[in-house]
């Protein structure tokens, strides 16, 4: 079968032919219809970290139908998705015509969502859903103040904006392409679009004017530090990415004096209960027509070009890979 495989550490992956998955790799065999290209996929495709076992089939999203199953939770023909859970990092992922996975992190795709839309949601949309649920779980409600979304034109940011707006939050979208993406982000539900430059420089004061009832941050580093310093008393910031860096140059003052919470959204190790809760919310609340508007579909051969564009910041929304 055709697959994109990373063979060696720190080397770009290659589109190649490989054998069918071995039976011992998991208790469910999936006929893969779609995957997607996320920031982590782009890094793995170019050999820039992420992968922790070689050789491995890339693709952190797996979307398709069950071909074989020894799990009592899944039957042949079930529509399923696997997001994160080590796919494309430590186990074979979705850039192949078949994938054998563990049922532990596998989720049934809700009836309201097609296979292609499930891939458009993918790990990015799943992570956005986890972030929105975390804000609500920590008491950030629509009247708690504006919610900031950084990296707003990316996969996580764009889905988060739509989910938050449909829940009644006033959303402020931060992007490096404010003039270019303003109409797009407003259509998704953002009430205001601001330039990321106001957050990306090193923090100048440990506490700044209180602006945000909550935030969803995909950037990390100085951006996250500034967002934390600007969050209102009792607010919550959900961190899910590190596009600017893994460092966090911040003091303890926002946490002590304003009682804010920094919550991590981890799509890789999320338990099954959270996965099912997030997908149920996506089925009930995400504007699927808006999802279509932010989605581009490509073939497996075009994945490398898409990865390069993502790493250069030239892509907005979601990129779906049609496998079969």
Report whether 50 contacts 43 (CB < 8 A).
Answer: yes
CB 21 within 8 A of CB 313: no
d(CA 318, CA 160): 12
- 3 phi, psi to nearest 5 deg: -160, 155
Q: How many domains are there within the chain?
A: 2
Question: Per-residue pLDDT for the chain (324 aa), expressed as one digit of tens each?
Answer: 999 999 999 999 999 999 999 888 899 999 999 999 999 999 999 998 789 999 999 999 999 999 999 999 999 999 999 999 999 999 999 999 999 999 999 999 999 999 999 999 999 999 999 999 999 999 999 999 999 999 999 999 999 999 999 999 999 999 998 889 999 999 999 999 999 999 999 999 999 999 999 999 999 999 999 999 999 999 999 999 999 999 999 999 999 999 999 999 999 999 999 999 999 999 999 999 999 999 999 999 999 999 999 999 889 899 999 998
d(CA 91, CA 49): 15
Count of residues for the chain? 324
Helix or strand or coil: residue 99?
A: strand
Token pair in block for residue 123: 């790990």
Domain of residue 250, CATH code:
3.40.50.720
Q: How far apart are CA 153 and CA 138, in angstroms?
A: 25
* Residue at a domain's end among 220, 248, 264: 264
* Residue from 142, 148, 131, 141 nearest 215 by CA: 148
Residues 204 and 77 in one domain: no
Q: What is the CA radius of gyration of the chain?
A: 19
**Which domain, by its residues, includes 245?**
124-264
Q: Do 70 and 17 share a structural domain?
A: yes
Q: Pick the last residue of a domain from 264, 281, 314.
A: 264
Structure tokens at 211: 């602006």
Same domain, 62 and 145: no
Question: Which tokens sit at 128?
Answer: 């956005």
CATH number of the structural domain spanning residue 39: 3.90.180.10
Q: Do residues 173 and 238 both lie within one domain?
A: yes
**Same domain, yes or no: 253 and 159:** yes
Q: pLDDT at position 141, please?
A: 97
Residue 118: inside a domain: no
Say yes or no: 132 and 255 in one domain.
yes
């Amino acid at each position: 079968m055709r697959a994109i495989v990373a063979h060696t550490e720190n080397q770009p992956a290659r589109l190649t032919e490989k054998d069918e998955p071995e039976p011992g790799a998991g208790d469910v065999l999936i006929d893969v219809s779609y995957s997607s290209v996320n920031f982590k996929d782009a890094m793995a495709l170019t050999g820039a970290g992420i992968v922790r076992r070689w050789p491995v089939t890339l693709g952190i999203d797996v979307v398709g139908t069950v071909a074989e199953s020894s799990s009592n939770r899944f039957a042949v023909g079930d529509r399923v998705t696997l997001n994160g859970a080590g796919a494309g990092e430590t186990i074979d992922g979705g850039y192949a015509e078949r994938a054998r996975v563990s049922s532990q992190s596998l989720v049934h795709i809700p009836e309201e969502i097609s296979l292609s839309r499930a891939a458009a949601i993918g790990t990015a949309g799943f992570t956005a859903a986890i972030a929105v649920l975390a804000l609500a779980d920590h008491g950030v409600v629509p009247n708690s103040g504006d919610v900031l979304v950084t990296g707003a034109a990316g996969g996580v940011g764009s889905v988060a904006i739509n989910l938050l707006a449909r829940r009644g939050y006033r959303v402020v979208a931060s992007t490096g392409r404010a003039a270019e993406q303003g109409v797009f982000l407003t259509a998704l539900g953002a009430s205001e679009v601001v330039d990321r430059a106001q957050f990306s420089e090193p923090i100048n004061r440990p506490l700044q004017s209180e602006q945000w009832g909550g935030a969803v941050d995909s950037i990390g580093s100085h951006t996250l530090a500034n967002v934390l310093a600007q969050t209102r008393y009792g607010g919550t910031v959900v961190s899910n990415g590190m596009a600017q860096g893994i460092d966090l140059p911040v003091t303890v003052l926002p946490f002590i004096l304003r009682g804010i919470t920094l919550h991590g959204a981890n799509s890789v190790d999320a338990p099954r209960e959270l996965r099912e809760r997030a997908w149920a919310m996506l089925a009930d609340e995400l504007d699927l027509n808006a999802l279509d508007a932010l989605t581009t579909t490509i073939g497996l051969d075009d994945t490398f070009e898409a990865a390069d564009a993502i790493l250069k910041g030239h892509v907005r929304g979601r990129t779906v890979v049609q496998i079969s």
